[in-house]
Amino acid sequence: MIRPLRRYTLNDLLRLLILHVSVVGGHLAAGDEYESAIQPLIEQYCVKCHGGEKVKGEVDFTLINSEADLDSHFELWETVADVLAYDEMPPEEADERPSTDEAQQIVDWYEDRFVKSVKPRPGDFKPRRLSAPEYRNTLHSILGFDLEVAFIEAEQTTMESSLALKLLPTDPPGASGYINDTYAARLSSAIWEQYAYLADRGLQELFSGNRMQELESLVGVPFPTPFKIADFNASQAKTLLQNFSQKTYRRPVPRKNLKTILASIKGLTGEPLVEAVKIEMKALLVSPQFLYRGLLMESKPGQQQRVDNYELAERLSYFLWEDMPDEALLESARRGRLRKPDDLEKQIDRMLASPKAINLAESFAHQWLGLADIDNADSDVTKRDALRSQPLDFLNYLFTEDRPVMELLDSEVTFTNYITASFYPKDKDQLVKYIKPKGIERQLVPNQRIRLVHTEDRGGILTMPGILAMNRGPVLRGTWMLRNILGERLGEPPADIPAIKAALPDESLTFRQRFEQHRSDLTCARCHDRLDPLGFAMQVYDDAGAYKLDPNYKPPRRKTEHDDSAEALDASGQLPSGETFDDFEGLKAILVSTKRQDIIRNAVKQVMAYALCRKLEAYDTPTITEITEKIDETNGSWRDLFIEVALSLPFQETVTPYPQNDS
């Protein structure tokens, strides 16, 4: 007997959406069921709007014609489960809609195939070129200095100083949503020329005579005093190439490779020796084994295998530092200690204590939470910098000081300076007083950590002024929270959505009341049922991020249409899963309680996608679920989450495909 179509809570739904079809093992029975029972329902109720020439919402069921298609288009079934769970599709005005039993039949098939049959396995090995930030950091770690652009910087401005980041193209986000997912970003001749130029510039500076300390460090033995580049001898050259090649390989160099490298300097002295060394060093800096990650990993084609010790070290360093492994990490790999959970945990603690761990906030979290949009929040350079640096400092604090994952939303600690202190009027006396230097109108200054003792209306990422200012209005705020914090899938709005009608001169309706008229259209209401409760709850903060309910609140001179006054505010709402709240504090209480596991699950997914540098697949789901439950049960920290990901099967293992035969 087919049970009636049940109404899912949002927690149930998100669990359902995350579970995909397994790409390992046979599903012949499930495939037969699809062709005989499910496909006819899809063709009857869905293909009219989602197939062939008419493809709404980027959903095309005509692409699924085989067993393999079911696997490769598993994301399509996330959408199917979503709309059926919310009874959103087909629309009520459609000519035909599935019965409750028919809809339940699709949901049951989805659960049987995409939930119960999933088996964990690691992802297929795919070579990935270093992203521009990874390349910049790695080159810096090898040479001992950064290649910088020469310019004069004023106190009140910020400019990109890295020559590598100036010259290399900005990496587009890969399928994972992160720029380190570079598998599809191939190496073009133009990019290779930039690598060659950067290598020349770096080596020119290294041997210029102004970088004796860095050159001596690469050689590994002190230079005699005095020392000039012309004094470079064969013994020093040999040691330099041995050390440099190991750094670029990020592992021990095979003996035959090293023999070839050293053969080019045999019998040379003076300037010819230096030039030959530079040629070999440049060859290493533009080689595939340097520009790509994982090419030198020991592999067993066609088999699931543990990655070798050096690949594990490399995965860990680019995950936590966005940089190559340092000597301590390579030594741990060399001795085989990195395989032991206790030793790996010690390495992670050491790495999180390093200044390099700031890249977790400045790269991972910056991309995850879309913090680049803060640059559009204010035209004043110093204020924009203050708004941007605050969440980055806060996230770095969470990541590196063993703070609970859920402190992302509810924290007694924040970071501020004299520019953003006005948002914390009752606690800003904790700041060391800022004294403006003479002759400086505005100055960029670092944030200071303060504890929110008397500022009840703040705490956590949601209420930071930069986050609020980059998401102005209830729609943007609700969308940002839904996608980035709760991890819900949300399609792009249709192109033909009507605009919200402007208020008439004699009309007293608030923006929310006029918005209700707009969303009365069923096409609009389906998305706004999820967006609006979140977005309107956050309207207690104005477009600049100021708290409207503060007794001393001063409204901005220019008021936007969506920004209702404090007196007219209605921050109450009801979530699709049924929970109701009266104000933002009520919503926040729901988020940290009943939505807690959804938020943790999304954090796990984001960390895993970034750490693995790839889009998560069906076979990652058991790992996601296991880590989520562990963090939830123990009130785990971000450190715990990083350790769990580093110990996980997808991180520790891989599947190496057979080499392709071009013939």
- Which letter, b or e, does each residue of 565-580 get, where b requires 16 or more Cβ atoms within 10 Å of its Cβ? eeeebebebebbbebe
Q: How many CA atoms lie within 13 A of 160 on its CB side?
A: 10
Report the C-alpha gap between 582 and 56 in whole angstroms.
36
- 448 DSSP 8-state letter: E
Report the C-alpha gap between 30 and 35 in whole angstroms.
9
What is the chain's length? Answer: 663
pLDDT of residue 298: 86
pLDDT digits (tens, 9 = 90+) for 55-87: 766 677 888 877 667 766 666 776 676 677 666
Report the C-alpha gap between 97 and 453 in whole angstroms.
55
pLDDT of residue 663: 41
Instruction: Quickly list DSSP for 275-316.
Output: HHHHHHHHHHHTSHHHHEESTTS---TTSEEEPPHHHHHHHH
* Mean pLDDT in consecutive groups of 10 residues from the start of the chain, 663 residues: 33 34 37 78 80 69 75 68 68 74 81 76 92 97 92 56 93 95 89 96 95 95 90 94 97 95 93 96 96 90 93 98 98 96 98 98 97 92 94 98 98 96 94 83 88 94 97 93 90 60 60 68 68 93 93 84 80 91 96 96 97 92 94 98 98 86 47
pLDDT of residue 99: 82
Asked if 645 contacts 607 with a C-beta cutoff of 8 angstroms, the reply is yes
**Closest C-alpha among 537, 569, 571 to residue 553:** 569
pLDDT of residue 656: 87
Give strand pairing partners of 654.
305
pLDDT of residue 6: 36
As a whole number of Å, the end-to-end CA separation of the chain is 54
**Closest C-alpha among 642, 613, 587, 658 to residue 127:** 613
pLDDT of residue 436: 80
- 34 DSSP 8-state letter: I
